[in-house]
Amino acid sequence: MATETSSTGSWLVMGLGNPGSKYEGTRHNIGHMVLDELLGRMNAKYTRTKIGAQAVAARLGPGGPKAVFAVSEGYMNVSGKPTRGLMDYFGVPAENLIVVHDELDLDFGRIKIKRGGSEGGHNGLKSITQHLKGDKDYIRVRAGISRPAGRMDTADYVLQRFSSTEREELPGFVAQAADAVELTIFEGLTAAQNTIHAV
């Protein structure tokens, strides 16, 4: 791995999604969008790793805490292997892993932060839990995308791009999810929940 990603604190932020232009802007890739927002705030860029992820170690603001920010180079359902690889490389414990992902069970634009719990059928979370040998004690920033209307297949729905109406609200939604990550690292989980869940 590059030297700029070889020294960090004990946080890892993973944004879930699928690789390639085919999936850019889809509901399932909200995690990638949030990581792009965070990197933009820090003026940071990813470096390719040998672990199957793009990652960068950067500070949250001048003199702020340092963490690794990453996205997998593989598909959603194999997110666990690169996540575990980065955790092992940087010495990040499960309790300091933050996973940003799309959430069908929240209305579009709603954000919830939680530690542990079930994966709710989310294949990315299932893969991570599997590679953590069943340890679910990591933090999830759940970005609501709503459930599909009618009888649309969920798998098809999450791979669609956001509607024109949703795209108007998307920048603010992504920014708020990025805020949730920063608050969790800066102020702790409970304080972040109190702020974000009140919105």
Task: Give Cα 190 to chain centroid, integer Å.
Answer: 18
Decide if 12 contacts 68 (C-beta within 8 A).
yes
75 marked ligand binding residue = yes
Over its C-alpha atoms, the chain yields an Rg (Å, rounded) of 16
123 marked ligand binding residue = yes
Active site residue 197: no
43 marked ligand binding residue = no
Q: Which of 28, 32, 122, 131 is catalytic?
A: 28
- Runs of H (alpha helix) within the chain: 30-42, 80-90, 123-131, 154-158, 164-187, 189-196
Distance CA 85, CA 96 (A): 14
Annotated binding site for tRNA: 23, 75, 77, 123
Instruction: Catalogue the active-site residues.
Output: 28
